[in-house]
């Protein structure tokens, strides 16, 4: 077929389907991707065709006749029956606007085909009805212009005979069954699309949760490391304080003070025993000196007792401080155990999430 004889007058992109010849219910896709679908006008034969090329063969080679009907079965899907090819063609468009444009062009081409048939039957002068079509002119498709003489047979049509009533009923039935199959296919498509959207949303939520868990895991690791360092510091401090220098000094001072008190008590008792003897044997001066010594010893004894009580208080405070340090170490160790347990739970959760993510 030469490009001078047959030229595209309108082209669009759509997914091409054919009715299953076995079931007459389901659609069979012509390919995974959208194809170029064009209206062609053959000026020599004065006929119109709908042609779509896929690979090295014609997926659609349908001659438009006045009795054909293009039916919109959804917002983006339309179909028509071709009795010569004994099939029903379906087109899935990217938008409702593309479907409307194709349907309007189908009506124009169908009307032009009717006028061409009437003029042919009347024997009048044949003119090119394609010149009056409000077509979207596009450059010839490479798939069309590349066809050589050997491919010309793909675009030759049979005579545009009007089918009989029985044929029309059969085509109506095929069209109805094709509509049902297309609705089922579209419902399955939307169900799969909805399921895919839900899975994508769940995957995004899982990724967000995993990112949050990773942040919590890093925070828990930092907190556990800080607590581990604090426990080590407290344990080192408690180890250095166990026999602390202040406590040792306090104990030694306490022992010395107790020994000194005992010594002074003995001296006082001795002096008292001496003053309690026969008065005639003791001189009055010696008694006074002895009394002064007793008073001095009692004053010194009171001071020593005061120092002893102060030393005991210091010792008790040192012991209390050591107990507080031990309690703080215990609390820190418990908190560290809790953090380590939470850390292990986070690790298990991340492992389960990693196993469940595709």
Give the CATH number of the domain where residue 17 resides. 2.30.29.30
Neighbours of 107 (CB within 10 A): 11
Neighbours of 342 (CB within 10 A): 15
Instruction: List, in order, residues 6 or more apart from 121 with CB less than 8 Å away.
Output: none
24, HSE (Cβ side, Cα atoms, 13 Å): 11
Instruction: List, in order, residues 6 or more apart from 293 with CB less than 8 Å away.
Output: 271
CA pair distance 101, 13, nearest whole angstrom: 11
Closest among 135, 151, 132 to 38, alpha carbons compared: 135
CA pair distance 279, 354, nearest whole angstrom: 105
For residue 40, the model assigns a pLDDT of: 93
Is residue 60 in some structural domain?
yes
Is residue 78 in some structural domain?
yes
For residue 3, the model assigns a pLDDT of: 43
For the chain, which ranges sit under pLDDT 70? 1-5, 123-191, 193-194, 241-250, 272, 274-283, 357-358
Is residue 314 in some structural domain?
no
Neighbours of 1 (CB within 10 A): 20
User: Token match 């001189």: residue?
Assistant: 283
Neighbours of 334 (CB within 10 A): 11
**Nearest 5°: phi and psi at 73?**
-100, -15
CA pair distance 59, 52, nearest whole angstrom: 5
DSSP per residue, 239-282:
HHHTT-HHHHHHHHHHHHHHHHHHHHHHHHHHHHHHHTS-GGGS
pTM value > 0.85: no
Instruction: List, in order, residues 6 or more apart from 229 with CB less than 8 Å away.
Output: none
Q: Residue 20: which domain range?
A: 8-119
Closest among 6, 20, 13 to 140, alpha carbons compared: 6
Is residue 313 in some structural domain?
no
Is residue 309 in some structural domain?
no
Is residue 253 in some structural domain?
no
**Nearest 5°: phi and psi at 111?**
-65, -40
For residue 355, the model assigns a pLDDT of: 80
What burial letters (b/e) apply to 25-42, b meaning 16+ CB within 10 Å?
bbbeebeeeebbbbbbbb
Is residue 221 in some structural domain?
no
Domain count, the chain: 1
- At 282, list the tokens: 């003791």
Is residue 48 in some structural domain?
yes
For residue 2, the model assigns a pLDDT of: 43
- At 225, list the tokens: 């490391």
For residue 153, the model assigns a pLDDT of: 32
**Nearest 5°: phi and psi at 273?**
-65, -35
Overall size of the chain counted in residues: 358
User: Token match 């062609």: residue?
Assistant: 40
Separation in Å, CA 86 to CA 17, 42, 81, 105: 14, 22, 8, 23
- At 335, list the tokens: 């908190």
CA pair distance 42, 205, nearest whole angstrom: 58
For residue 88, the model assigns a pLDDT of: 94
């Amino acid at each position: 077929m030469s490009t001078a004889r047959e030229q595209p007058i309108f082209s669009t992109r759509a997914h091409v389907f054919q009715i299953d010849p076995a079931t007459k219910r389901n659609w069979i896709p012509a390919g995974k991707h959208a194809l170029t679908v064009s209206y062609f006008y053959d000026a020599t034969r004065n006929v119109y065709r709908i042609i779509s090329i896929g690979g090295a063969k014609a997926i659609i080679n349908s001659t438009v006749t006045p009795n054909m009907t293009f039916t919109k079965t959804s917002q983006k899907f339309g179909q028509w029956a071709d009795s010569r090819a004994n099939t029903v063609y379906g087109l899935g468009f990217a938008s409702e606007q593309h479907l409307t444009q194709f349907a309007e062009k189908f009506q124009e081409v169908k009307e032009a085909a009717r006028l061409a048939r009437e003029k042919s039957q009347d024997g009048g002068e044949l003119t090119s009805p394609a010149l009056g079509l409000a077509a979207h002119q596009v450059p010839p498709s490479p798939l069309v212009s590349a066809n050589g003489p050997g491919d010309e047979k793909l675009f030759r049509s049979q005579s545009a005979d009007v089918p009989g009533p029985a044929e029309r009923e059969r085509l109506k039935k095929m069209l109805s069954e094709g509509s049902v199959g297309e609705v089922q296919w579209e419902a399955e498509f939307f169900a799969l699309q909805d399921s895919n959207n839900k899975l994508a949303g769940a995957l995004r939520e899982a990724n967000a949760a995993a990112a949050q868990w990773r942040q919590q895991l890093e925070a828990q690791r930092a907190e556990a490391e800080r607590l581990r360092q604090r426990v080590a510091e407290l344990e080192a401090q408690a180890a250095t304080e166990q026999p602390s220098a202040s406590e040792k000094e306090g104990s030694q001072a306490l022992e010395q003070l107790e020994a000194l008190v005992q010594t002074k008590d003995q001296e006082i008792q001795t002096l008292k025993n001496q003053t309690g003897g026969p008065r005639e044997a003791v001189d009055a001066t010696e008694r006074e000196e002895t009394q002064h010594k007793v008073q001095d010893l009692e004053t010194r004894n009171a001071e020593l007792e005061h120092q002893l009580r102060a030393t005991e208080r210091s010792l008790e405070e040192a012991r209390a401080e050591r107990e507080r340090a031990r309690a703080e170490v215990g609390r820190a160790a418990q908190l560290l155990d809790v953090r380590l347990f939470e850390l292990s739970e986070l690790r298990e959760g991340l492992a389960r999430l990693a196993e469940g993510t595709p």
